Structure 1
Amino acid sequence: MKLNFFKYQGAGNDFVLIDNRDNTVQNIDKEQVALLCDRRFGIGGDGLMLLEKEPGFDFKMVYYNADGNEGSMCGNGGRCIVAFAKHLGVITYTTKFLATDGVHHAKISDGGEWVSLQMIDVEEINKDGEAFVLNTGSPHYVKTAADLAVKDVYNEGRAIRNNTTYKQEGINVNFVEPEGDGFFVRTFERGVENETYACGTGVTAVALAMAKKNGQFGTINTPIRVLGGNINIRFDHDGERFSNIFLEGPAKLVFEGQIEI
C-alpha cells in the first residue's frame, strides 16, 4: 500500500501525519506504525497521526506512539495536526476536534505555524515522595532537578517509568529546573521509550505542578524551554482546579512524500 504522508514538528517533537478522511488506512498494525516512525528504515517520528472525519467536529485525531501502540493524548501532536488541518483546507484559524481524551479547541496564526491548543482541565495532582503525579491527557511524573543540562534523563527516566508503581500502565517522566521566569524541562516519554525534544502534555504537567508547588493562583503564564525550542503554557488556578489551559508553540511542516508499507 502506498501512502502519502506529511512530516511535522512542534519544538522538535516530530510526527508522521496522514490524511485519512477517505479511510485509505484501515486496521494499520503495530509493525506498520513502528516502521513508519523508524528513523533508519522508515520516515522517522515520535508518533503517527491520522486525521479522520468525525460528525460534529472538524476532524478526529488518532494517535499512535512510535512503538506502534495507539497512544493517549499528545499535546504537541495536537498542535501539529491543527496546522495540518489548516494546510489541507479543513479549517481556517479556529477548530474543534476530537482526540482520545475528549474535545479540544485550538487557534492557529495567520502564517499557520503557531498554534494555541486548549488542554483538558485538571483537578487532581498527587505526590510520590517529592515528585508530582498528574494526568494532562497523558500520565506524567514531574520532579525537580539540579544541573538538568547534564542529567542522565534516559536512564533515570527509564528507571522511574519501569518501576513497580508505573510499569504496567507506563508514565512519562519530566525533570524540571527553574530558569529565568520559567523552567527548563527534559522528558522521557513512554511509547517512544526515550527522551524526546519536547512533550506537550509534559510541559503542561510541569507548569501546573510548579504552580501548585509554589502556591500560585489566578491567571498564570509559564514559559518553558525544551531541547527543541520554547513553549508557553497559560492557565487559571483557583486553588483547587486548573482550567482554561492552553499549550502554545510552533507547529511546522518539514516535508511531504510517499512511502510503500
Structure 2
Amino acid sequence: MTSTPRVPFVKMHGLGNDFVVLDGRESGVPAVDARLAAALADRHRGIGCDQLVLLEPSATADLRMRIFNADGSEVEACGNATRAVGLLLGRPARIETLGGLIEARPDGGGIAVDMGRPRFGWDEIPLGYAMDTLHLPVGWEELDDPVAVNVGNPHVIFFVPDCDAVDLARLGPLIENDPLFPERVNVNVATIESRAAIRLRVWERGAGLTLACGTGACATAIGAMRRGLVERRVRVTLPGGPLEIAWTDDDRIVMTGPATEAYRGSFDPAAFGLAPAG
C-alpha cells in the first residue's frame, strides 16, 4: 500500500505570535481554505498557531503571502508573519498581500518591513458610517475616544493609563464584532510611557489575545503620532517583546523586530480529510 505524501511546514514566531508556514510555490501543498486553516491552527488536534501562512507565486512581486487566522478567516496583512517570511527567505523581498505590496529585508539582528502608507479615511478603515477617525465619538464601558487606522488591516486604538488593567479578553470580542466595523476590527489598548515608548496589548481579529501583533504595533504608533503623543520613531513593547516603529517623511511605516524559526515538520493531509495534492 502506498503511503500518502506528507506536507512539509515551518513553525515560526515573531515575539511569540506564532505561525505555520506552508510553501505553496512547491508541489504537494494542498489547497488551503478556512476549514483546513482552522484545523491546522488547532493547538489540541492540529499543529497549533495564531495564523497559517501560505506562500504562493506572484506575478507582481517576489512571492504572494496569504494569511489565515486561527478561526479560518483570511486577513489582509500581518506584520509579524511578514518578518517571519523575510527571515525564511534570507534576502530582501517584495511580498504581495491582500493588504497591498510590502517589502521585507534583513536588518541587523532582525527583519525590517516596509508596511506601506497608513490610511485614515472612515471608508478606508472601514467604518459603518462617516466619522472623525482621529477621535471616534464612541465607547465601550471604560474604553472610549479611540483612533482608527488601516495599516493593511483595520485597527482601533484606545490610549489608557494602564493597558494591563483592561479586561481585554472580555471587551475585545465585543468591540471586534460591533456593527460599527463591517469587516470586524483589531482592538488595541495602549499606555504612553514616554515620547519614545508605548506599552501595548492586542485583541487580534479572528485570533484573540496575542503575545504580539505587528500591524497592531504599527497602527498604535501611528495613532499616537497623529495625536502628538510620541515622536515619529517609537518603541512599542507587547507582552512578547519590543518592536521599533518609524513613520518616515515619505509617509511609509517601517517596522523592525525579530523573527524566529522554531522547528520544521510535516503532516499527513489524510489526517485532515484531504486527498493528496496533485
Question: Does the 8 A contact of 2:119 with 2:149 survive in 1?
Answer: no
Q: Verify: 1:69 aligned to 2:73, yes or no.
A: yes
Q: Report the equivalent of 1:151.
A: 166
Q: Report the equivalent of 1:89.
A: none
Change (3 A) 1:41 1:29: same
2:253 to 233, 245, 253: 245
User: Which residue identity is paired with 2:256?
Assistant: E
Change (3 A) 1:123 1:138: closer
Q: Verify: 1:200 aligned to 2:214, yes or no.
A: yes
Question: Does the 8 A contact of 2:162 with 2:190 survive in 1?
Answer: no
Question: Does the 8 A contact of 1:23 with 1:52 survive in 2?
Answer: no
2:263 to 235, 240, 255: 255
Question: Does the 8 A contact of 2:118 with 2:252 survive in 1?
Answer: no
Q: Which structure 1 residue ranges, 4+ long, deviate > 4 Å from structure 2?
A: none
Identity of aligned residues (%): 29
Q: How many Å separate the matches in 2 of 1:35 and 1:3? A: 14
The two structures, once aligned, show a CA RMSD in angstroms of: 1.9
Tell me the TM-score normalized by structure 2.
0.83
Question: Does the 8 A contact of 1:10 with 1:80 survive in 2?
Answer: yes
Question: Does the 8 A contact of 2:245 with 2:254 survive in 1?
Answer: yes
1:188 to 199, 203, 211: 203
Q: How many Å separate the matches in 2 of 1:123 and 1:54? A: 24
Q: Verify: 1:101 aligned to 2:113, yes or no.
A: no
Computing the radius of gyration from Cα coordinates, the structure with the larger value is: 2
Tell me the TM-score normalized by structure 1.
0.88
Aligned 1:1-261 pairs, distance under 5 A: 2-86=6-90, 92=91, 94-109=92-107, 114-124=110-120, 126=133, 127-129=135-137, 130-166=145-181, 168-180=182-194, 181-192=196-207, 194-214=208-228, 220-236=232-248, 243-261=251-269
Unaligned runs of 5+ in 1: 87-91
The structure richer in strand per residue is 1
Unaligned runs of 5+ in 2: 122-132, 138-144, 270-278
The farther-off stretch of 153-162 and 7-16 is 153-162
State the Cα distance separating 1:183 from its structure 2 match. Answer: 0.4
Alignment deviations for residues 20-77 of structure 1 (CA, whole Å, 9 cap, x no partner): 1124334323221111111111111110111122234221111111111221111111
Alignment deviations for residues 193-231 of structure 1 (CA, whole Å, 9 cap, x no partner): x111111111101001001111767xx211010010110
Question: Does the 8 A contact of 1:74 with 1:201 survive in 2?
Answer: yes
State the Cα distance separating 1:236 from its structure 2 match. Answer: 2.5
